[in-house]
Amino acid sequence: MSSDTSLPSGAEAVTWNLADLYAAADDPAIERDLDLSDAEADRLAETYRGRIAGLSAAEMAEMLAAYEMLRERAEKVGNYASLVWAADTTPAAHGALLQRATERGSRLSQKLVFFDLELAATSDEVARAWLADPILAKYHHWLELIRRYHPHLLTEPEEKILAEKSIIGRSAWSRFFNEVHEAARYDFDGVQLTRDQILSKLYRADREERQRAAAVVTAGLKEMQRTTTFIFNNILADKASDDRLRHYPTWITQRNMGNEVDDRTVDALVAAVTARYDIVARYYRLKRRLLGLDELFDYDRYAPLPAADRRYSWAEARQIVLNAYGRFSPRMAELAGLFFDKSWIDAAVRPGKLGGAFSAATTPSVHPYILMNYEARPRDVMTLAHELGHGIHQKLAGGQGLLQADTPLTTAETASVFGEMLVFQDLLSRESDPQVRLAMLTSKLEDSFATCFRQISMNRFEHAIHTGRREEGELPIERFSELWLATQRAMFTDSVTLTDDYGLWWSYVTHFIGTPGYVYAYAFGELLVLALYARYQHDGAGFADAYVEMLSAGGSHWPHEIVKPLGVDLTDPGFWSNGLQILADMVTEAERLAA
């Protein structure tokens, strides 16, 4: 069955209903909530400025409850503006709403700067008394995290200036980058395609089509390269400036603190993964033989084996994912079903829509929303499983309240990658044809490599460009491309030939712009999930309840403590190597099936 993405997918009418946030972009309730948030911020400042260190635990609990409610109301506006814009970046009104929400959010944060500063600066003796009081249990970990940032906070006037400037700094460049790339069209055989649509052709069985698609992508990226390079240099310079002002010793330290891991742990992860690049090379040498090619090029990496070249309608994908979740945990299947039944998913492909996929948690008083671009490919089924994992996690974690619902990026990818594993194993268990099983296994391996090895290779690229920008000054296009090819070739060694054209493919990766340092969290999540799934296979049915409890904990504790009841020790130096060996064993199984 052909995987032609020009055929209907069944998701053409699958769009989300944002009415649980606001009725429309011109809903008067938006301005009302912004004004109420401002007024409440003024009241909090008048009541508590200069007094926080002297509050009793009961008074602190009262203040934090009011602060949390204020944040709920304000973030609801920002969430809605972001989702409306993501669904269609084209109308000026959508961009204007997003900018208004951003500017009002910045103004609000300036009013509340005193809040974090006073909490962070409170003496250890006072803080210990707060943290020991059961009345503050709901905010315990959040208070721990706030206090960690004390060495990196500036004075209140300085913090206000940075907040004011941020809306025309990094956030503005990030929005501009997305709008430029989402507006771009790639001419393929006379048809104007979005970036995601042309990239999807790299998963086609026809090699000549893949090669032409890769050439079209490169040509499109070349047209934008001056703009993209300028944006990248500004983002890198902005990050360097922030790190210098806040006394972060490395470009990644702030991200690591946000992920609740130390620099040494991340260094150990990166070292472990890069030391096992041999797994990647071994697999792609096998794939070259399976495809019958003398040489495997970058545009051949995702070519499907014939047995995997099929389509899944939206209705089929829904059934597959819900069945897999249901076999593991009826509770998770029930939550996943809500996203379909209540229109919390936007899956239709259309011009102007943001590419890729995400699950937006919004606020605990509402619910998450999922955006994806469904084209009926096998990998789209896995993307659906992935984003539903995020959505379920966010829905369960909402019970912790706004301040402790969010998980650090290191564990935020756990439920999503675990969801993919559930769907993959469920499909594999029902397949008896060895050729189809091999095709499924190779597809899963490629997804795992993209999540683990490729993300670490991109982390190495990020490290190179942040370091380069700080040491060499503004980087030219050629320098970016040189660093990209060097870090990518280190992963593939001689198993894949990367063309010079591929040297420009760094320039569309959104994570480098919107969330510097993000990408290693995918590898963290992938290896954590491999450990969790191995534990599930060992423990059986009782594992599911403990797993749901872990997701429900949200961000209420340190990541290593949250996963400890499931039998996983993130502090074990051998942890990463164990997960990587599971991937090596999967390659061995693929070699066995191929033989």
Residues 6+ apart with CB under 8 A from 274: 456, 460, 490
Q: Is residue 267 part of a domain?
A: no
Three-state SS annotation for 46-113: HHHCCCHHHCCHHHHHHHHHHHHHHHHHHHHHHHHHHHHHHHCCCCHHHHHHHHHHHHHHHHHHHHCH
Residues 6+ apart with CB under 8 A from 109: 163
Q: Hey, is 371 helix, strand or coil?
A: strand
Would you write out the chain's pLDDT as a tens digit for each of its 595 residues? 344 556 788 999 999 999 999 999 999 999 999 999 999 999 999 999 999 999 999 999 999 999 999 999 999 999 999 999 999 999 999 999 999 999 999 899 999 999 999 999 999 999 999 999 999 999 999 999 999 999 999 898 998 888 888 878 888 899 999 999 988 999 999 999 999 899 999 999 899 999 999 999 999 999 999 999 999 999 999 999 999 999 999 999 999 999 998 888 899 999 999 999 999 999 999 999 999 999 999 999 999 887 666 789 999 999 999 999 999 999 999 999 999 999 999 999 998 999 889 999 999 999 999 999 999 988 899 999 999 999 999 999 999 999 999 998 888 889 999 999 999 988 888 888 888 889 889 988 998 999 999 999 999 999 999 999 999 999 999 999 999 999 999 999 999 999 999 999 999 999 999 899 999 999 998 999 998 988 898 887 789 999 999 999 999 999 989 999 988 888 887 888 888 999 999 999 999 988 8
Give me the phi and psi of 138, to 5 degrees please: -65, -20
Best CA proximity match to 65, nearest among 363, 401, 395: 401
Burial of residue 92 (CB within 10 Å: 0-12, 13-18, 19+) is: exposed
* Longest CA span, the chain: 74
Burial of residue 226 (CB within 10 Å: 0-12, 13-18, 19+) is: exposed
| Domains in the chain, number | 1
Task: Please give the residue range of the domain that contains residue 30.
Answer: 18-168
Q: Hey, is 188 helix, strand or coil?
A: strand
The CA angle 388-539-450, to the nearest 5 degrees, is 40
Q: Which pTM does this prediction carry? A: 0.85
Tokens of 312: 């899944």
Question: How do beta strands 345-346 and 369-371 pair?
Answer: parallel
Tokens of 276: 């096992």
Question: Helical H runs in 113-169?
Answer: 113-121, 124-132, 140-148, 156-166
Q: Is residue 43 part of a domain?
A: yes
Residues 6+ apart with CB under 8 A from 122: 52, 53, 147
Tokens of 185: 């069209």
Output the CA–CA distances (angstroms, integers) from residue 564 to 42, 117, 406, 572, 576, in the order listed: 42, 32, 19, 11, 15
Best CA proximity match to 449, nearest among 300, 302, 266, 294: 302
Give me the phi and psi of 331, to 5 degrees please: -65, -45
Q: Hey, is 340 helix, strand or coil?
A: helix
Q: Hey, is 515 helix, strand or coil?
A: coil
| 535-539 own/partner pairs: CB under 8 Å, 24+ apart | 535/566, 535/567, 535/568, 539/567
DSSP letter assigned to residue 507 = G
Q: Hey, is 346 helix, strand or coil?
A: strand
Q: Is residue 452 part of a domain?
A: no
Residues 165-186: b if buried by 16+ CB within 10 A, e if exposed: ebbebbbebbbebbbebbebeb
Measure the CA–CA gap between 570 and 525, rounded to whole angstroms: 11
Q: Is residue 512 part of a domain?
A: no
Cβ atoms of 368 and 361 within 8 Å: the answer is yes
DSSP letter assigned to residue 297 = B
Q: Hey, is 355 helix, strand or coil?
A: coil
Measure the CA–CA gap between 346 and 339, rounded to whole angstroms: 10
Q: Is residue 76 part of a domain?
A: yes
Q: Is residue 481 part of a domain?
A: no
Tokens of 239: 């990050």
Rg, C-alpha atoms of the chain: 24
Element (H, E) at 567: none
Q: Is residue 321 part of a domain?
A: no
β-bridge partners, 350: none
DSSP letter assigned to residue 149 = T
Tell me the CATH number at 148. Answer: 1.20.140.70
| 133-136 own/partner pairs: CB under 8 Å, 24+ apart | 133/57, 135/57, 135/58, 135/61, 136/57, 136/60, 136/61, 136/64
Measure the CA–CA gap between 186 and 213, rounded to whole angstroms: 9
Tokens of 533: 């799934």
β-bridge partners, 112: none
- The structure tokens 């506006």 sit at 77
Best CA proximity match to 359, nearest among 371, 374, 375: 371
Measure the CA–CA gap between 90 and 281, rounded to whole angstroms: 42
Q: Is residue 119 part of a domain?
A: yes
Tokens of 106: 């910045």
Residues 6+ apart with CB under 8 A from 414: 393, 525, 528, 529, 532, 551, 563
